[in-house]
Amino acid sequence: MPSLLASVPTSSLFWWATPKNLTAGLVAYLSYEIIYALYFSPLRNVPGSFWARISKIRTLISDIKGDEPEYIIANQEKYGSVFMLEPYKVAICDPSDCRLVLSTHAFRKDRQYGNIEFLEPNMFLTVDPELNKQRRRQIGPALGMASLRRMEPKILAAGVVTLVDKWGALADAAENGEAKGQLLLRLLDDDMHRPVLTSDDRRIVRWVNRAFTLMFMEAILPFLKHSPFNRILRPLYQDASDFITFGNAAIKQRKQELEQIDEAHSDEKPADILQSLIDAEDPESKVRMTSGQVTSENIITLMAGTDTTSNTLSWGIHLLLLHPKYHRRAVEEVRSQFTPDHVITFDEAKARLPYLEACVYETLRLRPVSGNLPRIIPRGGVVIQGYFIPEGYSCSVCLAGANMNPDTWKRPHVFYPGRFVDCDYNKHQVLTFSAGVRVCPGRNLAMVEIMTTLANVLNRFDLRLPEDSLFKPDIRDQHGLPIIMPRNNAVTSAPMFPDRDCNVVISRRK
Ligand code: HEM
């Protein structure tokens, strides 16, 4: 029987959709949202801007503009350490509150992480605490210091040694020994993760960047995963598929190579992350990962560890160059401890370069490359700074906010490495690697790479900003502080104009 509706002309179905009625409907809807947000929402007493209370627009603008840290810091200065971010989401910036939320799996990662489907479930993206715990038991030891010490010769050879060779050759080839202009700190992007990659293949850097874009799109706009919209993302899916195929092939090749090594010579196995992932075993259940799972973890490790580490290095060198007194002190410390051609290892740097380590912590604090960590409020709700936040609502652990919290840090906007000299307490307050049950498992690897790169670069090269740099020690803001190059917060917080602002002049040490 034909539907009754089918016989009604479409125009008469929408008789009510006149401009006047549509406007009235919109006004009624907005009035409801505003009245609810201001007078009835359980979050109505949490401080925050009007716009944050009634819509997600301001956070969307931040996502697009990439000014999330600035937005969070400005809000914290205005409203305090807890404030509205979106109608059902609050921002948390007090380090103790952040630690509380991060300390337990009860605050699950936001559903957005679960929207990402182009990779098999993995330690980073899963919102399932049990899977996360298992993966951390399996993979954790591979990224622990004992394992990294075995890998360190490879890390150094593929990372900083390649870098200083490259920079040395450029300096030697340059007139008057100074290599200028096109030297970007971003050169580090391609150099940092060869410990995991065994080739110079630059496709991997491209795949990592493209996978990030895809991850971002799937998380924020999940409908794009489905037909017909998925056509828009087809090139990204193709890259993701190539990345996965490459990862699977690497495992296959490694397994074939291992077949050549018999049990008696198992210590001849390559000491690298790929091997650690293949060998990883959950000590409780004795479960190991399938090849697909290893690939997924390998890819997510590359994604989580590449830009974060190289951008931190870029920020570190930039901040030192803007603060010549601290730069000089770090250089003097390194050069007083090591001869010019010595390759400084992590243990050496850690034991003998406390000031350099302080500079690294201050960089991590002032320019955290990681952004907000969204979590779901668990059953029963939670009280934070006296405000009750009901279950099912969200909170965002704001690392940039916590690292600038005025109750925790004196003069938080000032780059002052001295606050970390002989002060382990302050080191623990820096939340850039997160904390608690889902703390970054790659933080040791990141510190090995950052410390050894900075130590060896400062030991071998004199660095300075080019004459035409827009950012110099004497170009200051209204508070008298050197202006730091702008950042762009897409997935990690990176220099916004690297081609313009990341240039350095390099010469061999005098
Ligand atoms: C300066 C460098 C780095 C910074 C600042 C950093 C920061 C972070 C942060 C804030 C998280 C928590 C994310 C969240 O809860 O959503 C995280 C998680 C993670 N990081 Fe890092 N990371 C760095 C380097 C690395 C490296 C080198 C690796 C890999 C070897 C790595 C692997 C991971 C993984 C797998 C997770 C997920 C852990 C989980 O959810 O249980 N990170 N990282």
The span from the CA of 390 to the CA of 378, in Å, is 8
What does the pLDDT read at residue 138? 95
DSSP state of 490: S
- Binding-site annotation: residue ranges for heme: 440
Q: Give the distance (Å) from ligand 1 centre to CA of residue 113.
A: 14
One digit per residue, the tens of pLDDT, for the chain of length 510 reads 445 445 555 567 778 788 888 999 999 989 998 999 999 999 999 999 999 999 999 888 888 888 999 999 999 999 999 999 999 999 999 999 999 999 999 999 998 888 888 999 999 999 999 999 999 999 999 899 999 999 999 999 988 998 898 889 889 998 888 876 434 444 333 333 333 333 556 788 788 889 988 988 888 888 988 888 889 999 999 999 999 999 999 999 998 888 887 666 666 788 888 899 999 999 999 999 999 999 999 999 988 988 899 899 999 999 999 999 999 999 999 999 999 999 999 999 999 999 999 999 999 999 999 889 999 999 999 999 999 999 999 999 999 999 999 999 999 999 999 999 999 999 999 999 999 999 999 999 999 999 999 999 999 999 999 999 999 999 999 999 999 999 988 778 889 998 899 889 999 998
- The confidence score (pLDDT) of residue 434 equals 98
pLDDT of residue 194: 38
Q: Which of 122, 295, 440, 448 to mutate to test the pocket of ligand 1 (most atoms within 8 A of CB)?
A: 440
CA–CA separation, 232 vs 224, rounded Å?
A: 8
Residue nearest (by alpha carbon) to ligand 1 atom 24: 305
Q: List domains and CATH numbers for the chain.
A: 46-508 (1.10.630.10)
- Greatest Cα pair distance in the chain: 92
What's the CA-to-centroid distance between 91 and ligand 1, angstroms? 20
Which residue is listed with tokens 């965002």?
Answer: 396
H or E, element range at 488 = strand 487-489
CA distance 67 to 83: 17
Alpha-carbon gap, residue 356 to 182, rounded angstroms = 26
SS (H, E, C) 153-218: HHHHHHHHHHHHHHHHHHHHHCHHHEECCCCECCHHHHHCCCCCCCCCCCHHHHHHHHHHHHHHHH
Q: What is the DSSP letter of 462?
A: E
Q: Looking at residue 180, what is its pLDDT?
A: 64
